[in-house]
Amino acid sequence: MFTPGWRIPINRSRPTSGRGNSPEEVYCCQAGESITRDTALVRSCGLYFAPQRLHISADMWGQYWQQRQAPAWLASLTTLKPETSVTVKSLLDSLATLPAQNKAQEVLLDVVLDEAKIGVASMLGSRVRVKTWSWFADDKQEIRQGGFAGWLTDGTPLWVTGSGTSKTVLTRYATVLNRVLPVPTQVASGQCVEVELFARYPLKKITAEKSTTAVKPGVLNGRYRVTFTNGNHITFVSHGETTLLSEKGKLKLQSHLDREEYVARVLDREAKSTPPEAAKAMTVAIRTFLQQNANREGDCLTIPDSSATQRVSASPATTGGANDDRLDAGSHLCGRSGSLSRQSRYRRDAFLAASHGPGGAGGSVTTRYSRLLIPTTALAAGERHAQPASYYPKRKPGWRKKCRSGGVYYKVRRGTTNQTCLRFAV
């Protein structure tokens, strides 16, 4: 966690190979295989980060951390051993100021999403980014203790310990941690989304809610009434994120949103925030479709508000929609999906599954959202770990065919040739 190898360019932190010469290689790779920096951190491969291998001297190490006012135990290579005891406060303070912790958090999400840790990802989502550890209780070889240290999504440092190994502690207490760990508020993804509201419906006039006078193009702040050329109208709220534009004599409403606000607004518009597990499954589908289908302009994704893509609430997300989205904010799932025009159908399937258990009434009312995403769907972090998997329930063979790119496409509806090919990476 503390090796300044995170500051070493990737071309210098080269992979290391297993030679079968050390029992510690069990945490790294098999003899003859190699391991990269990110995987080494997730697997607790200490050999990869050995100071000798990275050419880090004791003086270099001490100077690096002393400049950052680190505690004495961290500034000394000789004390950085498993048997060294430090106060929890000192460890948490050091984690809070760890350089390049954003990179560490991104990689450490894989620890929670490890399929071997059954049920952990479905309980905790992406709320924790932690490095696991195991050692001996009070230096007694016959008693094991384990736990993890790292951060919550908002950067709050975290440390946990319990009897058993790191794996058993995480799996055994996942349900308890799900209840006691806070769901961070106001978590931004750092990625913006430009949305053209009501893209398929020509606008006639936008007025303040209690006025008949058309507003002029510009940033909107308040409650407004949109009148469409077909005579319909709708009221919405803007807190400065929506702008009225006039292009070639045609009015257009454009919202500039954080990605997670976008996901929450689609959840509000396309579905609802209950039952919770079905809503969480829906956020995965929403975020996946966005990442795979939006265009990119500069630093932002661009996508229209349309039934042909995803419908978006013109007003800020409700508390329910935002909370369901935040639980999985920044999380990444890998798999395959079908056309979003069929998501409403599968959203209803997920709703019934979460309410009555898979297959209909009489089942468990606590079906986890990961099971609603199909048991064969592999959880992984980011596109860098995308793996083949099924997303939607398997229908008749004619509905599911292979893409040239190796993915899977689904017909939008029976009897049409409209198809889409997506790879999950949410």
Give domain limits for the chain: 4-180
**Pair 165, 175: CB distance under 8 Å:** no
Backbone angles phi, psi at 119, to 5 degrees: 85, -10
Q: Encoding tokens for residue 231?
A: 């005579």
Average pLDDT of the residues in 175-199: 79
Residues contacting residue 378 through CB under 8 Å, at least 6 positions apart? 115, 333, 334, 335, 387, 389
pLDDT averaged over every residue in the chain: 73
Residue type at 423 in one-letter notation: R
3-state DSSP assignment of residue 168 = helix
Residue 358's pLDDT band (cuts 50, 70, 90): very low
pLDDT confidence of residue 330: 43
Token pair, residue 394, equals 């398997």
pLDDT at 405 over 60: no
Mean pLDDT, rounded, for 239-267:
92
Q: β-pairing, 203-208 with 34-35?
A: unpaired
**pLDDT at residue 319, rounded to an integer:** 67
Q: Is 316 helix (H, G, I), strand (E, B) or coil?
A: coil
Per residue in 73-107, pLDDT (tens digit) is 999 998 888 888 899 999 999 999 888 777 788 88
- The pLDDT score that the predictor gives to residue 361 is 40
- pLDDT band for position 254 (50/70/90)? very high
Q: Is the dihedral of CA 22, 26, 31, 35 positive or negative?
A: negative
Confidence of residue 31 (pLDDT cuts 50, 70, 90): confident
Predicted TM-score of the model (pTM): 0.58
- Give the span between the Cα atoms of 60 and 210, in whole angstroms: 68
Q: In 184-198, which positions are buried (b, 16+ CB within 10 angstroms) versus exposed (e)?
A: eeebebebbbbbbbb
Q: Is 164 left (phi over 0), alpha (psi -120 to 50) or beta?
A: left
> Which residues have CB under 8 Å from 13's CB, separation 6+?
5, 37, 54
Alpha helices in 207-313 (DSSP H): 259-270, 276-293
Q: What does the pLDDT read at residue 314? A: 95
Chain position carrying tokens 């100071």: 51
Q: Are strands 34-35 and 16-17 parallel, antiparallel or unpaired?
A: antiparallel
